[in-house]
Amino acid sequence: MDRKPFFLLLCCTCVLPVGAVAAEPDPYPLSTSDRYGLNFNGFVSQGYFNSSSSSNNFNRSGKPGGSFDFTEAAANMHWQWTDRMSFAAQALYRKAPASVDDGVRLDYAFVNTTFQTPFTDAAGVMIGRFKNPFGFYNETRDVPFTRPGIILPQSMYTERGRPFAMSSQGILVYGDLYRPWGTLGLKLSFGEPVPGGSSLEYIIFNKDLPGEFEPRRAITAQLRYDGPEPQLGWSAALSYQEYSYDLTKPRASLGLDSFRFSYKSVALSLQYAEPDWKITSESSRGVAFDDAVRLTTYLQGDYRILPDLSVFARADLMILDNRDRWGKKAEAAGRGPDYNRYAKDYSIGMNWEPRPDLSLRLEWHHTIGNAFLSSAENDLLDAAKTWNMGMAQISYRF
């Protein structure tokens, strides 16, 4: 039976609920409830990118004079139907060539039901389309105000893989324990990934194919700890994510009768925060369908200079295959320059929020390697090894 009509009907009739772990920042921020329990919220954001190399494009940053091809906007609603049941949904617009993710889409849509158990202080279940609980930022990655920079660390949260790694549609169960020493939360989900579109085809085949990747299976799990003071002290998370797709109608030119893409990854996240500064580090290990082991890690420090002004510095590393960390074997086999198999990204940035609803950001990146660049907007055989990129972004929420 085709499962798509079921999920489409569910998403359209059950607009999405609020079901985040209570000790975490709400990944679906909502305005104050009115007397009907109905809320509306949203944001608009515009970015600017400019690369030092015309052959290295990230959201078309290599165009003469730079590019404004990074636009985000969303509108969401939330309805608290009863004390234990709520609905919510968000429509998201993105213009982002790096992720091949232009246009309007249903970002999330689920029904959330809470209940009591003898083993937890809070528990619930979501049914519909929801953000995958992976690392610290995947659930909130589409809200500019929650990101630790204009773009997330591309090793862990690559833009080119965003459309299919970001969300699932199915069922998610969560439970929390509140203790004097902090909050312990567990999330488990099972279902299918959202359609990945052509982004997955560019990653595997470096082109957009006539066939389509059909979602097959998605599984996520996350165990998270947050200290007793909200957003202060230690936070830690252990995350697991698995997703797979089947390529339908593969062309004879590929030499394939069928093809299945799968990816499994485990991530460890750690953060320590004080009122004016915090240190964050995340690392992951992923295994792809071809047994290539992908390694990612980053370290970021944030410092608040003024109540409305903060700065950060980040070092980020992505390795596409641990068996060939620096791409020497791939280059010898005629698969392109060795520096396409890794990326070392060093960045600094600032965020000024003159009002709670307005954010102005500046960011600069020095990158060695091209592992996170997309072949959808780059000829990776001609891309430069070392390049710089400047960014600016203005965001408004309502």
- Provide the residue-wise pLDDT of the chain in tens; the chain has 398 residues: 344 433 332 333 333 333 333 333 444 444 444 555 889 999 999 999 999 999 999 999 999 999 999 999 999 999 998 889 999 999 999 999 888 877 899 999 999 999 988 888 999 999 999 999 999 999 999 899 999 999 999 999 999 888 878 899 999 999 999 999 999 999 999 999 987 666 777 777 777 766 677 888 999 999 999 999 988 999 999 999 999 888 776 655 566 666 788 899 999 999 999 999 999 999 999 998 888 899 999 999 999 999 999 999 999 999 999 999 999 999 999 889 999 999 999 999 999 999 999 999 999 999 999 999 998 899 899 999 999 999 999 999 99
Which residues is 188 bridged to in the sheet? Answer: 173, 221
Domain span at residue 54 reads 4-397
Give me the pLDDT at residue 196, please: 65
Give me the pLDDT at residue 257, please: 66
Q: Is 390 helix (H, G, I), strand (E, B) or coil?
A: strand
Q: How far is CA 269 from CA 135, 165, 187, in A?
A: 6, 17, 15
Give me the pLDDT at residue 358, please: 97
Give me the pLDDT at residue 206, please: 72
Q: Where are the alpha helices (DSSP H) in 334-396?
A: none
Give me the pLDDT at residue 166, please: 87
For 76-141, what is the HEC assignment?
EEEEECCCCEEEEEEEEEEECHHHCCCEEEEEEEEEEEEEEECCEEEEEEEEEEEECCCCCCHHHC
pTM of the entire predicted model: 0.86
Bridge-based pairing of strands 277-288 and 293-306 is antiparallel
Listed in sequence order, the residues at least 6 apart from 361 whose beta carbon sits closer than 8 Å to its beta carbon are 149, 150, 349, 350, 351, 352, 391, 392, 393, 394, 395
Q: How many helices (H) and strands (E) does the chain have?
A: 4, 16
Beta carbons of 263 and 229 less than 8 angstroms apart:
no
Listed in sequence order, the residues at least 6 apart from 42 whose beta carbon sits closer than 8 Å to its beta carbon are 73, 74, 75, 76, 397, 398
Residue of 51, 48, 90, 89 lying closest to 71 (CA atoms): 48
Give me the pLDDT at residue 252, please: 52
Q: What tokens does 291 get?
A: 């047994």
Give me the pLDDT at residue 20, please: 34
Give me the pLDDT at residue 256, please: 63
Considering its fold, how many domains does the chain have in total?
1
Half-sphere exposure in the Cβ direction for 97 (13 Å, CA): 19
Q: What is the full DSSP assignment across 155-191?
A: TTS-GGGHHHHSEEEEEEEEEEEEETTEEEEEEEEEE
Q: Which residue has the tokens 């979602």?
A: 215
The pair phi, psi for residue 12, each rounded to 5°, is: -80, -25
CATH code of the domain containing 51: 2.40.160.10
